[in-house]
Amino acid sequence: MSLLIKGARVVTAADDYIADVYVADDTVTTIGAQLDIPADQVIDAAGCYLLPGGVDPHTHLGFDQGSTITSDDYATGTVAAAFGGTTTVVNFAQQRRGQHLRAAIDDGLAAAQGKAVIDYAQHIVITDLAAGSLDQIDELAAEGVTSIKMFMAYPGQLMVDDATMFQVLERAGQVGSLCCIHAENGPVIDVLVRRALAEGRTNPSWHGRTRPELAEAEATHRAIALAEMAESPVYFVHLSCAEALDQVTGARDRGRPVFAETCPHYLFLDSSVYDDESFDTAKYVLTPPLRPARHQADLWRGLRTDDLQVVSTDHCPFCLNGQKTIGANDFSMIPNGGPGIEHRLQLLYSGGVVAGHVSLRRMVDVFATTPARLFGMYPRKGTIAVGSDADFVVFDPNGSTTISAATHHMNVDYSLYEGWRLTGAVRTVVAAGRAIVDNGVFVGKHGAGRYIARDASGQP
């Protein structure tokens, strides 16, 4: 199977030029001006950008949150990702307490089998070091699982203590794995939550009011110190506020290998949604919570100056009806998380590039290139180059996208961006050399997505 993409404006993190791109099977083999090579399929991309397929390193497909499971599994979630130009996800394989790390990875692989329409990899979430000995970190790294997630929040469920974090950071650094940290001071947040509930404050708006910025900044500071003592790199997931970003910026200024992602919801939404005390606000029960709008300028500044390197989605969808309602009488029982896997590119283009916050190439960098590098998939993923996987988005900058739960492909009954009209539209998405989305129609195949065994984490 061969594919020729004609006349596109090829935009990578480094380059921006008009070219034709020829693909043999699943790999880019030739890039040049006006290629005249016969192909099984030809896509005329004149007037469009040809971008590398997105790499989303933070998704919770089939994630068991305790009381319920995210509403998207690999089948629905990867279709939705494809509609947003994402062609690779790194999903979380969560160790249950007492479970061997390998068993958690195997469970994740089984969950993807026959379902994923795009390529996928897995982070291992360590919740219990006693069961998952440090040696298993080496074994998994050798097999291509080169990132580890640890939580400093959710005590008694997912949280690990500082001693565990330190030891895991140390071992991960030695074998080229990257530790991804959910940085919030969980025990202090739990005190604030219990206090609010005792005062009868049970509605979802209290989720936002009981998780202060300083709880995130303190944990970020602590994790940076632990990583420095362990002489290892560290990556912060879903960084949401200026105070946490200051910690990352300070560490980077000292030359430390500290990296961080933010998410579209922190760039485009703010904590004013928590002014509404109705249960509808449960839509915004995600962690860390949305912050006052003043933080957004800092996050955009961080993306421009490379203090933030990645925009991921933290796609963690729960339906408002039937799932979020588990916490109808107690906001602390509402499953935490929000949907986002489908609209990362469209939001970044319209609200980031068109709005003048970041350049087009920088958008590609944070959407695809740097996540591919940090998570050991570059240059196979994250760029358009001879030898790279043929994963692309044909993006029409003159199109438009209207977001609605009525038309999105995520298996969730609301959108965080209901009714938003954005500049630009995904026209065609190619994964492993085949179109999987074409003019709004899914033309891919469940099970066609491949598991990606990753290299050691690479630094940008």
Q: Say if residues 434 and 63 touch (Cβ distance below 8 Å).
A: no
394's CB contacts (< 8 A; 6+ apart) are 5, 8, 43, 45, 48, 49, 50, 426, 427, 428, 429, 430
Classify 67 as helix, strand or coil.
coil
Segment lying near Zn ion (by CB under 5 A), choices 39-47, 175-183, 373-381, 392-400: 175-183
336's contact among ligand URP, Zn ion, none, with CB below 5 to 8 A by partner kind, is: ligand URP
Per-position DSSP letters for 127-176, written without gaps between them: S-TTTS-HHHHHHHHHTT--EEEEESSSTTTTB--HHHHHHHHHHHHHHT
**Residue 314 touches Zn ion, criterion: CB under 5 A:** yes
Residue closer to ligand URP by CB (options 291, 434) is: 291
Footprint of ligand URP on 292-331 (CB under 6 A): 314, 316
Tell me which of 115, 123, 182, 315 binds Zn ion, using CB under 5 A: 182
Angle at 409 between CA 372 and CA 325, to 5 degrees: 105
Q: How far apart are CA 270 and CA 292, in angstroms?
A: 5
* Burial call 397-436: b when 16+ CB within 10 Å, e when fewer: beeebebebeebbbbbbbbbbeebebbbbbbbbbbbbbbb
Footprint of ligand URP on 172-191 (CB under 6 A): 182
Q: 141 to each of 165, 181, 225, how far by Cα in Å?
A: 17, 18, 24
Residue closer to ligand URP by CB (options 20, 314) is: 314
286's contact among ligand URP, Zn ion, none, with CB below 5 to 8 A by partner kind, is: ligand URP
241's contact among ligand URP, Zn ion, none, with CB below 5 to 8 A by partner kind, is: none
The two three-digit tokens of residue 264, written as one number? 């579209």
221's contact among Zn ion, ligand URP, none, with CB below 5 to 8 A by partner kind, is: none
Minimum distance, C-beta of residue 130 to ligand URP, in the bound complex (Å): 23
CB atoms under 10 Å from CB of 103, counted, come to 15
Q: Say if residues 292 and 40 touch (Cβ distance below 8 Å).
A: no
Residue closer to Zn ion by CB (options 52, 288) is: 288
Minimum distance, C-beta of residue 184 to Zn ion, in the bound complex (Å): 8
Burial (Cβ within 10 Å: 0-12, 13-18, ≥19) of residue 278 = exposed
343's contact among ligand URP, Zn ion, none, with CB below 5 to 8 A by partner kind, is: none
145's contact among ligand URP, Zn ion, none, with CB below 5 to 8 A by partner kind, is: none
**Residue 247 touches ligand URP, criterion: CB under 6 A:** no
93's contact among ligand URP, Zn ion, none, with CB below 5 to 8 A by partner kind, is: none
Tell me which of 60, 291, 362, 373 binds ligand URP, using CB under 6 A: 60
Which amino acid is located at 296 in the chain? Q
Minimum distance, C-beta of residue 58 to ligand URP, in the bound complex (Å): 7
Minimum distance, C-beta of residue 336 to ligand URP, in the bound complex (Å): 4
**Residue 56 touches ligand URP, criterion: CB under 6 A:** no
85's contact among ligand URP, Zn ion, none, with CB below 5 to 8 A by partner kind, is: none
**Residue 90 touches ligand URP, criterion: CB under 6 A:** no
Tell me which of 101, 183, 258, 286 binds ligand URP, using CB under 6 A: 286
Tell me which of 337, 351, 352, 449 binds ligand URP, using CB under 6 A: 337
The two three-digit tokens of residue 436, written as one number? 């999987």
Q: Tokens 């961006």 — which residue?
A: 417
Which amino acid is located at 107 in the chain? D
Positions in the binding site for ligand URP (CB under 6 A): 60, 182, 238, 286-287, 314, 316, 336-337
